[in-house]
Structure formats: C-alpha cells, structure tokens
Structure 1
C-alpha cells in the first residue's frame, strides 16, 4: 500500500498541474471503489477552481471554494496527469478534466481507493477526524509516543502504526524507523524508555524525509504521477531483507508477523 512518502510524492507531482485550474468535467467510468463515488461529484466539482492540493496522512485533498475532494490511493491506486483526450486504459476509473486540456486520471486495479466529496471542513470528515498529528509536524514527538504507550503491552511497532497516535507511518517505514532507533519491534510499547521514544520520533522523521526526497519506495503497484517509480527501496536496511546480513553488524535479518503485517528487524542491533 502506498505510504506517506508515496502519497506526498504524488501530491508534489500533481499540484503544479492542478493549482488554479478549473474543472471542466468529471468522467467516472467505475464508481465502485472502496466506497462508492458520490453520484453528485460531477455537479459539485465541475466549474470549480482548485485552490489547494494538500495531504493529510495518506489522503489527498483537492480544495475548492465549494468543497473538497478527498482521494485515497488504496492498495494499488495511482494518479497521472494526462491529456484529456487520451484513451483510458483498463482500470482508469476517473478523469478530472481541467482547463488547458489536461486531466487528473485515477488508476486503481484493485479498487480499494476512494474519491469522496465534502462541503464541510475535511478535517471533520469521518475518515480524517480521528487522525493523529503529521509525523513531520511539531505535534509529533517522543513525549506523545510515550504518553500513548503508557501501560500498553502490544508491540511498539503497532503503536507506531496507529493512526490515532501519528498518521502515515506504514509498515515499511515503521520497520525502518525502529531499526534506526535500535528498538526491537516486538518490545511492549509500555516498556520503552522516554529517551528511546525521543530517538524513535527523530528516526521516523529522518526516514520519511529521505523517502520523500528519493521519490517514494518502489513497490509492485506504486509509480509516481509521471509513471516513474520511486527509488527509496535502494536505501531499505531491514524491510524485505529476511535472511540477508544486517548492513551494520552482519547478523541475519529476521522476519516476524506482528498485527498481521510482515516485520523485519536485526536481533543484534535492536533491543
């Protein structure tokens, strides 16, 4: 599933093509995504000028004066800027056509993505209302992690992936951040010291910033808005490297399933 860096990479890629453009048409070829695309979307969005392209966690927000389109890429979704008259491929479910002859095209083979509309503040939408702070914001730090961890017996990795604690730290980047912080992902969240949570918060920021700068991680289904893959995968230190030697100490990387997600760690470097 595309994680925060992939979504941010997409936002940065599409924003210059959308800002201050008016929507001339909305073509919905397949409305049956994770949640049905509202039948009123075309009437709501057509004629509106896109004032801002924002990200909240893994959601993209296209703001207009009349309301906000909320986009989620799901497990296999991607967005492209294409010529409005270009023929759609299979799984090209939606075109948001713009002045200037271009279109924002949603491609989603598995149809786990979403395209919704709200006239209210999107932060109050049920999908966004309970989200925690952005990991790159001042609202996220070690003290917050420790506060939520107090008394928890569940693994620290599960805490890091809890969107109510902090948004957008998915499976790949949780594994990588915990490795850099030297914390065993299996350790009970309530048994991690404050100083180690401060280190973990710093590592989360470092990993995400590096991934964003590299253009996102190359996954089987994810490519950037221009069709090129991201390149952070060349920097992964533990994720997907089970059985390979740790790049720091040479110990074999281990894999374990935590909260139904594959988790990778070094048994020597992480305690």
Structure 2
C-alpha cells in the first residue's frame, strides 16, 4: 500500500502535471471505485471543474475542484498517471479524467480497492479521513503529545503506529524502519515506552519519512508516481523485506514475524526485546 512518502510524491507530481487544468470529461470504467455519489452524478459534478490544488491528508489525496472536493484513497495498488489521449490504455485503468490540454489523468488499480468521492462542502467526508490522527510533521505533534498518545495504549508499538487514528500516514515499511532506527522491538507495548524513547522514536519517524520523500518513495511492489517513475528509497531500507540478510549495523540476520497479519521485520540484536537501545550508555 502506498504510504505517506509515496502519496506525497504522487501529490507533488500531479500538482505540476494537472493543477490549473480543467476536466473536460470523466469516464468511469469500474463503478465500484466511486464511493459517492452515483457514477453519473460523480461524472457530472467534476466535468467543467478546474483542479485548483491537490492536498494530502494521511494517505488520502484531496483534489480542490471548487465547489466540489474529490477525495481519493489509493488503498493497496492504486496509481495515477498522466498520459496523452491517444496513448493506449494500460490494463486495469478504471477512471479517466480528460484534461483541457488534451492529456488524460488515468487511475489504474490492479487490486480494485481504491475509492473516490466527489463531495460538496456540506457532505460527509469518509470516516477514515475524518478520524485521522496528527500528521507526523505537524508542529502540534510534540514529543509530549506523542508520548501521551502512545502511553495509553497497551498494544504492541508496531500495531499502534499503524493505527491511523494515532498518527496519520504510516504503513508497514516505514514503521519497521523507524523502529529499527530507534532500537525498539516491534512487540514492545506502547505504554512501556518512556518519554525519552518516544522522543527518539518520533525523530526516527520524521527522519525516515523525510529521506523517503526525498527519494521519491519506495517501489517494493508496484508503486509509481504521476510520471510513471519508480521510487528509490527501497535501496536505503535497513530491515524491511531483508529477512535472513545481515543487519548493516551488527551483522545478525534480520528476522520476520507476523504481527496483526502484517509481515514485521527487525534486527533481534539492535532491537532486543526489553533491552537497551544500541549505543545507549
């Protein structure tokens, strides 16, 4: 699933490619992608609307198309691509937005889990968007606030960080990487992580996300940006998808376990359960 760095990279690319352009037609080829309203009304609402801006909230893309807002969640494998109108459609292309310059914004989704809504200001937003926690880079998310949000949770820290109500935008890849950088075992109960460790963890989250955004995200499966290009952060991963390979820090083999149905990667030495963080004095 695209996580915050991938969605942010897509947002930046689409901003340069389609902001300021007007939608001339909408073709929905797979109706279940459209969550609200009905497909004919979805198409009617957006035709003739200019894309004024594209925002990101958590893993959602929010298209400002006044007086409507299009909210898009890519889910597992959703992709946006801008293409010339005469370019053949890729398989699994489900929604097409004609642009006023003759190009098309095409939405492709092999797994077909993505969703789109076209909403007026007074219409209810998707609950997943409404209930999102703070953004990782939001100044209001201070170390004390982060500690308070974690301290009340007894679930494993990996599960808590994946909960979008706790903090928005994190997924499997970057949680594994941030926990490695902070030396925290993924099964550690969130409530047992002290304030100092919480501050360290928040810094690690921001560090990993910043570097991933700079690298254009991670293409470990099918992710591409709006230009159809792959990300590069997969070359910098310390633990994710490296099970059985030696840790870059200590040389011990990276392990993989299942936690909440998700593959979870960690170094058993650098992230010893109940142990002290590596390099602690």
Q: TM-score, normalised by structure 2?
A: 0.92
Deviation by residue 1:138-164 (Cα, 9 ceiling, x = unmatched): 122332332122243211111111111
How far, CA to CA, are the matches of 1:74 and 1:13 in structure 2?
19
**Kept after mapping to 2: 8 A contact 1:48/1:64:** yes
How far, CA to CA, are the matches of 1:42 and 1:94 in structure 2?
10
**Kept after mapping to 2: 8 A contact 1:68/1:122:** no
**Kept after mapping to 1: 8 A contact 2:36/2:119:** no
Task: Provide the residue aligned with 1:4 in structure 2.
Answer: 4
Q: TM-score, normalised by structure 1?
A: 0.95
Deviation by residue 1:182-214 (Cα, 9 ceiling, x = unmatched): 111111111101010001001101100100110
Segments of structure 1 that go 5 or more residues without pairing to the other structure are none
Q: CA deviation at 1:269?
A: 1.0
Task: Provide the residue aligned with 1:183 in structure 2.
Answer: 184
How far, CA to CA, are the matches of 2:92 and 2:37 in structure 1?
15
Task: Provide the residue aligned with 2:160 in structure 1.
Answer: 159
Deviation by residue 1:109-168 (Cα, 9 ceiling, x = unmatched): 110111111112789542311101111211223323321222432111111111111101
Aligned positions of 1:208-247 closer than 5 A: 208-247=209-248
In structure 2, relative to structure 1, the CA distance for the partners of 1:199 and 1:116 (3 Å cut) is same
How far, CA to CA, are the matches of 1:126 and 1:186 in structure 2?
28
Task: Provide the residue aligned with 1:109 in structure 2.
Answer: 110
**Kept after mapping to 1: 8 A contact 2:34/2:117:** no
How far, CA to CA, are the matches of 2:34 and 2:18 in structure 1?
24
Question: What is the aligned-residue RMSD (CA, Å)?
Answer: 1.7
Which stretch shows the higher mean deviation, 119-128 or 251-260? 119-128
**Kept after mapping to 1: 8 A contact 2:25/2:98:** yes
Task: Provide the residue aligned with 2:59 in structure 1.
Answer: 58
**Kept after mapping to 2: 8 A contact 1:249/1:268:** yes
How far, CA to CA, are the matches of 1:219 and 1:265 in structure 2?
17
Q: CA deviation at 1:36?
A: 6.8
Q: CA deviation at 1:34?
A: 7.8
Task: Provide the residue aligned with 1:266 in structure 2.
Answer: 267
SS of corresponding position for 1:262: strand
Is the aligned partner of 1:201 residue 2:198?
A: no
Aligned positions of 1:22-171 closer than 5 A: 22-33=22-33, 35=35, 38-39=38-39, 40-120=41-121, 124-171=125-172
Task: Provide the residue aligned with 2:252 in structure 1.
Answer: 251
How far, CA to CA, are the matches of 1:79 and 1:7 in structure 2?
10
Q: How many residues align?
A: 271
In structure 2, relative to structure 1, the CA distance for the partners of 1:269 and 1:123 (3 Å cut) is farther
How far, CA to CA, are the matches of 2:207 and 2:152 in structure 1?
27
SS of corresponding position for 1:26: strand
Segments of structure 2 that go 5 or more residues without pairing to the other structure are 276-281
